[in-house]
Structure 1
Amino acid sequence: MRYCYCQDYAIPAWLMALDCFGDRDCPGFEAGWLAQVRREMANNGDGAFLSDRCRELAGVSPLYFTRLESDRAAALSMGAFWRRTLELPGTAAEQPSPIFLTGAWSDEYHGACLVRGAARTASWTWLAGERPNGLCLPSGDSALAEWRHNLAGEIRGLGRVNYQDLVDHRQAIFDGGFLTWGRTVFRSEKMMCESHPDEETAGQEIVCAALPDDATMLVLQRARVLARVDLASVKGIFLQVPNDLFNGYRRVYRSGGRVLETNGRDWRAETIRVSGGRLEIDGRLLLEGAYGLDALFIHRPGRRQVGLSVRQDRADAGGMLLVDEICAPCQLGRRNYDAGAVIYDHGFAISVRPACAGRVGRWGARPEGLAAPGCPEVRLVAADGRDGVRYLLAANLGGRPAAPEIKAGEARRLSDLAGGGTVDAAGGVFRPELPARTCRLFRLEK
């Protein structure tokens, strides 16, 4: 559920923290959430809390809908009662919440990494509820956030239930960033024909690196068919941009000299092709292709599509949040694939807008895919950090060790940010060692 249910019960948690521990940030959190509630009620226009966003859910499960409505009423009344009874300090007047700087944090079991700076919040989680997913957002703009296998691609077979299972993963954090690698398998279940078994349709490798520049994330994706299969849809990249009441139902995209505006209220079903691999979102976020991306697609299904967990097989419950889906490729409709076929293989950067972007003109990481002669399973991406440093992400997606030759240019040394150690140039090239199914993130030094 988005913007309801568990989030409602943050109110008593905040007030408990304020009462027991004197946490002075809690009134700001409370005020921000109450502003969201008021905004949604005004959008509904009927005095209910969730009648617009959960209209379809109410049609198939009045009990579930009523439970969500009553949860919000209970949490709000609890907060009002505690404030009156305990005479809690602070004010519930609307005020901006502070941006907290977390540094880098990770959780081994879930394969979760997080770094939150003044400008950027970046995260990745492998063992998530709708796994895996990643985020790269301006730290002060949560209306750009959607987690449902975000930045992890979406491949749907012919079954009613489609999701990714985790095969393996590893991660490392360092000052200001993180590096993570993992494999997933796409599953399609509950086929129409009773004799049609559940299928593992495709395998995927993903590499994600949050650069220590408080601005940039690099992502590599490769998906391949496991056995001959029919796929109902394919959406690589899968960057989801919420376009609902919480951002005012409006997004503006720019690519080259082209400006596109999407309206979340018009319920238009469309897929917009954008030539090239560069797309700016609301002047706040930038997606740039490094390799394998000649065009991007903005897919709008014409309905709210983010709702209950995909594993619950309740598509009839509808969605509670509408998002624009930034994809490449964007295959809509059934297509047959041979075993071993590459569905997509690409790399890209996502950057948050610098505070001075209006004065510096073009901005971004300018990612570049580099050749790795003799190493077909190696992917190399160089990018410019906001901190003025050149970075190199090197990934070995294969099952054998590799040591690609990389032209050094003006650089003389590679410093490994996650694993430590250095690689010196010899004869004008670097030869970093890449064990099977691993990745390394380097800082280029002159």
Structure 2
Amino acid sequence: MGSKAAELDSEGASDARDIFEFHEPYIGTRGTGSICKDGRKGVPKAEKMIVTVVAALTCCSLSGTIHSVSGTPVSNASVMITRAARRLKTTTAADGRFTLTADPGTYEVDTIAKGYALSEAGPVEVNRDLHLDIALEAADAQNLRPIGSVYVDGRLALSRNAIPGAVIARAEYEANGYSRILDALPAVPSITLPRPDGGNSAAPAVVALRGPDPSETLVALDGQILNDGNTGDLDLSRLPVAAFTSVNLSEGLGPKDLEGSDTIGGAVNLISLQPTVQPHAAYSVNAGSFGKSESWLNASGTRGRLGYAMVLNDQQETGYVNEDDTVCPDSIYSGPPVSTHLGSSVSSRSVLANLVWNFSQGSDVGARIFSLGNVRDVSAPVNALNSAGQLFGPGPAALAQSIRTYDIHGRASLGSGFFRAKSVWSCCRRIVSLWSLL
């Protein structure tokens, strides 16, 4: 921006008005103006009247759309852009859109909406018209969920009571550097995480709400029950954060809750990654000590009528123990020592595909597939030292976990309501294999 000062010396002026001209070299504007001297005939030379004309330069429109991770527009969200001490603010319309006019420069963009976590983006360089697409994560907040109500012969059979619950959003996992769903659960006071096969990092970990029995806690994916049919629990230790948007916890439901009969302690509902309006993609690779590494890739968006969300995850870990040793079968007296390998390695892979085909407003069909498989060497924890200081036990041992879930659903608009149909199938198993040294 530029300006030019026009100085008028009133000495010797015979007219009560002088005409002056100014130029704005940066914008190219030109104009004339006048100054009245109040009819005075003269003033001392030291007294001058200075007029400064400043032209402001505003060039850019900053617009955008605010929506949830599932693509739903977020209305009445506050959008603030900040540069140094200057702040501009607006709110989104019903369709989640907003528009601001800003000077050229670098801005921080903050978005606040009720029920969602704070979004902080930037720095954003504004030197032309820009359009932003901002996805908000669900807020981490305590909430009460109605259990539901059922009437039989006109009488209330299931009371509509509110129960305590919590939501752990993906934003909290990422803010703390967590890569697995299990990592954030110890912070919930009512949760315990038993490890039925020992406490090493390769061992399974299950969840129990309001008590020690994990079979009384329902674990679900988008409402689809995942509990192991043999043990009644579910190993959560290898579920990756990349495949989910949040974890919903409901405490103390009881056997009459609509969630299911195995919810005396409560329920843990995992919400899978959903298709988004705008395309998004992310890739991460990390590595650490003891051969630990993890990589994941996820992508979501919409192409024409097809909405998609896909995730690939790979976890590898050598573990704390990875050595050849001498083990006595079962005890020191049952046979001669045998040389064998003892380890605590883990190899885990998972994939999620979530597809939705939209026929029209309120009519669509979709399918979701989630698969997780892992193999763990648990020979280190199952072989122990005896009183003589020698290792004894079964020798080699491995644990395998397999989760397969399928969900096909559809809905059709019927006047003021909807017709919904859904079919689900799942298989979750944990198998331990031991090889005797004899």
TM over 0.5: no
Higher helix share: 1
Q: If you compute each CA radius of gyration, which structure gives the higher value, 1 or 2?
A: 2
Q: What's the TM-score, normalizing by structure 2?
A: 0.24
Q: What's the TM-score, normalizing by structure 1?
A: 0.23
- If asked which structure has higher relative contact order (CA below 8 Å, sep 6+), I would say 1
